[in-house]
Amino acid sequence: MSVHHDAVSADLVEGPLGPLRPRQLLLLAGAVVGCAVLFAATVGHGYLVNGLQHVPLDQVGSGAYDPKDLPAPPSLASQALGYLAIVTAPLAGFVALLVSGADVVQSVHDHRSPRQTAPAAAVVALSAVMLVGCVVLSPLATWWLD
């Protein structure tokens, strides 16, 4: 009976799901880009409309400028979408990075051609850029949450 269990566990280690299909990679990339667009359309737009680009970013994140005194308060719908963007942007980037990164590692292990590995590597790069953007723009999220 242990031989059967060893064979099953060996199948799990070798990646029973196979490489990600182009449709799956497009879905991951679309989620990352969609979350970035949602962030830009809500939080970034509110930041620019209220003229906060003239304020040092560290002072914006510290709450030195109170959003209540700004000329264009966001509507309830845009505020809810902004909160959604703040939550989903890093989450989508992290999930896409993990899934596509695992596919790239599996591609190297399976000795796939660079042409087969390139789409997953592109999603890894896109996700990494998204996560770096989340870190850099976190003061904007802090301003939005005020």
Going from the first residue of the chain to its last (146 residues), give the mean pLDDT of each consecutive group of 10, the final group possibly shorter.
51 59 93 93 79 75 63 74 90 95 89 89 95 84 72
Q: Which residues contact 37 (CB under 8 A, 6 or more apart)?
A: none
Which token pair is 134? Answer: 């989340």
Cα gap 19→120, rounded to integer Å: 9
* pLDDT score, position 73: 60
Predicted local confidence at residue 12, as pLDDT: 46
